[in-house]
Amino acid sequence: MTQPPKAEAIAAATGIPWTNWCALLDGEDGPSLAHDRIAALACNHILAHGVGTPAATNPEWWGQSVAVAYEQQIGRRIPGQSSTGDFHVGASKTYAGDLDAALEAWRGLVGDRGSFGGVPVEGEPRISSTEKWRYWRIDLADGSRVSVDIGWKADGKSTIGINHTRLDSAESIGHWRGVWRGILAGLS
């Protein structure tokens, strides 16, 4: 089988070669396990054996990454496909400003658009915030959803991450990645 796209990044972050991850999960009957069980096994392994690795600072996230890559390895899903079978794409950009400034810059950029990528919007954008995050969300007429998640970075910067979910095919990923990268390029 072809190695999943994130296998090298996982090996670097966890200190565990990808072939060892596969052997470990195969030994736990990984192909018969649900996604959440694979992720929990990977997380527990990172907690037990990954001390001092980058993955040890966020073992749950890396456990999810291992589970996704393993499911790609065994043919359960293809890159860009969620555990429910739909597809998603993301794009991000660093913004030189705090969370509120980044949200306002995003809102100023997209304004009151009636469509994205040729697909009409449904309803009004929903905006919410927490102490550490700002969110802008909208539904599209094709049934897909867009979430813009704005998080804090060091040195007074923010990251603006777009997560577009419920896409109907792997072929649509390239189209939407281009749409979102093009929009993000307009941020200054």
Q: Over the stretch 126-182, which tens digit does the pLDDT of each residue have?
A: 999 999 999 999 999 999 999 999 999 989 999 999 999 999 998 999 999 999 999
User: Which domain covers residue 25, as residue numbers?
Assistant: 7-73
Residue 78 in domain: no
Q: Which residues contact 128 (CB under 8 A, 6 or more apart)?
A: 134, 135, 137
Residue 111 in domain: yes
Q: Which residues contact 51 (CB under 8 A, 6 or more apart)?
A: none
Residue 139 in domain: yes
Number of domains making up the chain: 2
**170 shares its domain with 109:** yes
Residue 1 in domain: no
Residue 79 in domain: no
**92 shares its domain with 175:** yes
Tell me the one-letter amino acid at 57.
T
SS3 13: helix
Could you say which of 49, 73, 97 is where a domain stops?
A: 73
pLDDT at 43 exceeding the cut of 90:
yes
Q: Which residues contact 82 (CB under 8 A, 6 or more apart)?
A: 88, 165
List 92's β-bridge partners, or say none.
161
164 Ramachandran zone, left/alpha/beta (phi>0; psi -120 to 50): beta
**97 shares its domain with 61:** no
Residue 156 in domain: yes
SS3 124: strand
How many residues are given for the chain? 188
Q: Please state the separation of Cα 127 from the chain's center in Å.
A: 20
pLDDT digits (tens, 9 = 90+) for 75-96: 998 888 888 888 999 999 999 9
| Predicted structure pTM score | 0.75
pLDDT at 1 exceeding the cut of 70:
no
Q: How far apart are CA 41 and CA 28, in angstroms?
A: 9
Which of these, 126, 121, 151, 123, lies nearest to 136 by C-alpha position? 126
**66 shares its domain with 123:** no
